[in-house]
Structure 1
Amino acid sequence: MRPVGVGAPLSVDIEEKTFNSAEGVTIAALSNLSFEVRPGEFACLLGPSGCGKTTTLRILLGLDRDFAGSFSLPEGGADRVAAVFQEPTLLPWRTVEQNIRLALPKERRNADLEWLFSSLGLGSMRTLFPGELSVGLARRVAIARAFATEPAMLFLDEPFVSLDEATAERLRYMLLSVWSSRPTTVLMVTHNLREAIMLSDRIVVLSPRPAHVRGIFDIKLPRQYRNPQIMSDLLRSFHVRFPDVN
């Protein structure tokens, strides 16, 4: 299947991003941050807590315009961007299915989403309300809502944080299943190295604040071959290049 985001890459060139602390001190969050994500690629931004990963996503989503530099989204991305945040932000008075379909334009509200409900194991939960869902199930709904829009660019901000490892692992596989069915350009923020190696084609490794790119770790091996032994080998290779990143 041809990736939705085919065409130009996601191109980021942020010269500087600063903000003022509550004490009035100017803090540099990003400095000379430049990287690309190729069309149809799943990339991860990996870096220590507080280094500026979420700040970068906010800029790319247009939520923060106070920065020096520029970026360009993949072809069609300006009008077809989706995001999944750490909090699912579901409407509590709407059912699972209603929350997902509300993200669609009116002319597509009745679109066939059977493949999506099935891939994420939500088929029997359509009529439930967010208050009846576990945190893991609510995250699935947020992922479904994002993919339902058929985005040209998808941003993920640590969507599995705070979940127990077994639940997080199931959701990672579900995410890969949905993305493989409807491939698009993805940039995901994480501080979990193993997660990044499992999911991504490219890992963009960031420095501590102010964030800049320390290096790029490309993974050419298809995901179906990333068994435990291969994962260990990839982790070793990563640590040869970035020995201080865990």
Structure 2
Amino acid sequence: MNDTQPAGAAAPLKVDITEKTFRSATGVKIVALRGLSFEVGQGEFACLLGPSGCGKTTTLRILLGLDRQFSGSYQLPEGGSNRVAAVFQEPVLLPWRTVEQNVRLALPRNFRDKDLDGLFEILGLSAMRSLYPSELSLGLARRAALARAFATEPAILLLDEPFASLDERTAESLRRLLIRVWAARPTTVLMVTHNLREALLLADRIIVLAPRPAQVLGVFDVGLSRDLRDKTALDRLVLDFHERFPESA
């Protein structure tokens, strides 16, 4: 049964996927998700952390409505525009549109003249608004993708390893920018990652997944203000996490 339930304005994200299977090219049944159940509170930043191939992206595809062949249910939060926004590993910008045009195209027609100055400023894109995607580095293109997502003021933002394939310096800069723009425009966030330090830097809670078929091993509450998450604090959190989840080391 594929059941998407309506949510109230203050409802959390609720996921209860009984099973999701695939058929391989040779016809072999592959179970991607089984008994996957978790919640993310309204306005909370949560990370799905698990090994590559465990079913994290499959979970996001289900929540985005891109995959309806599963058994179980989910409930999306509502509020503001009631929109669901997503940022993927590839920025997916229209090459014939400028940065600003790409961002505004995501808005409903009657909101396309919305003041986006503050958003562009936070993301360091004020001077890039008239540039085309081919004129941007990958890091700047990822910023534009974040701007497009936040401009819609979504009820929930889904992030699928948005900093993958970037050098660590650029990725770290974008993580800090993500937190700044999220703090200025808070929304419920579910981010997929296999990078523990990234999750510990960004998240309020980390939902730890088992290898395929994905199910929840447990939840790690970070419990530390983001302005205190320096290198020393992150090192300590890494140790605490591995003590709680030694199988993920």
**1:203-234: CA deviation from partner (whole Å, max 9, x where unpaired):** 00000000000000011211011121111111
Residue 205 of structure 2 corresponds to: 202
Is the partner of 1:75 in helix, strand or coil?
coil
Q: Choose 30-39 or 74-83, whichever is displaced more.
A: 74-83
Residue 168 of structure 1 corresponds to: 171
Is the partner of 1:224 in helix, strand or coil?
helix
Q: Are residue 222 (structure 1) and residue 225 (structure 2) matched?
A: yes
Conserved? CA contact 1:6–1:40, under 8 Å = no
Q: How is 1:1-246 mapped onto 2 (pairs within 5 angstroms)?
A: 7-76=10-79, 79-246=82-249
Distance 1:234 1:109 in 2: 42
Alpha-carbon distance, 1:75 to partner: 2.3
Is the partner of 2:213 in helix, strand or coil?
coil
Distance 2:25 2:167 in 1: 34
Alpha-carbon distance, 1:79 to partner: 3.7
Distance 2:199 2:161 in 1: 11
Conserved? CA contact 2:81–2:152, under 8 Å = no
Alpha-carbon distance, 1:77 to partner: 8.4
Distance 1:198 1:181 in 2: 17
Alpha-carbon distance, 1:78 to partner: 9.1
Unaligned 5+ runs, structure 1: none
Q: Choose 70-79 or 92-101, whichever is displaced more.
A: 70-79
Report the aligned-residue RMSD. Answer: 1.3
Quote the sequence identity (%).
69
Unaligned 5+ runs, structure 2: 1-7
Give the TM-score normalised by structure 2: 0.95
Alpha-carbon distance, 1:244 to partner: 2.9
Quickly say closer, same or farther: Cα 1:137–1:151, change in 2 above 3 A. same
Distance 1:76 1:120 in 2: 24
Quickly say closer, same or farther: Cα 1:165–1:61, change in 2 above 3 A. same
Conserved? CA contact 2:9–2:79, under 8 Å = no
Give the residue type in structure 2 aligned to 1:105.
Answer: P
Alpha-carbon distance, 1:6 to partner: 6.0
State the number of aligned residues. 242
Quickly say closer, same or farther: Cα 1:160–1:111, change in 2 above 3 A. same
Give the residue type in structure 2 aligned to 1:210.
Answer: P
Alpha-carbon distance, 1:80 to partner: 0.8
**1:141-192: CA deviation from partner (whole Å, max 9, x where unpaired):** 0000000000010000000000000000000000000000010000000000
Q: Choose 5-14 or 59-68, whichever is displaced more.
A: 5-14
Distance 2:9 2:218 in 1: 24
Displaced runs of 4 or more, over 3 A: 76-79
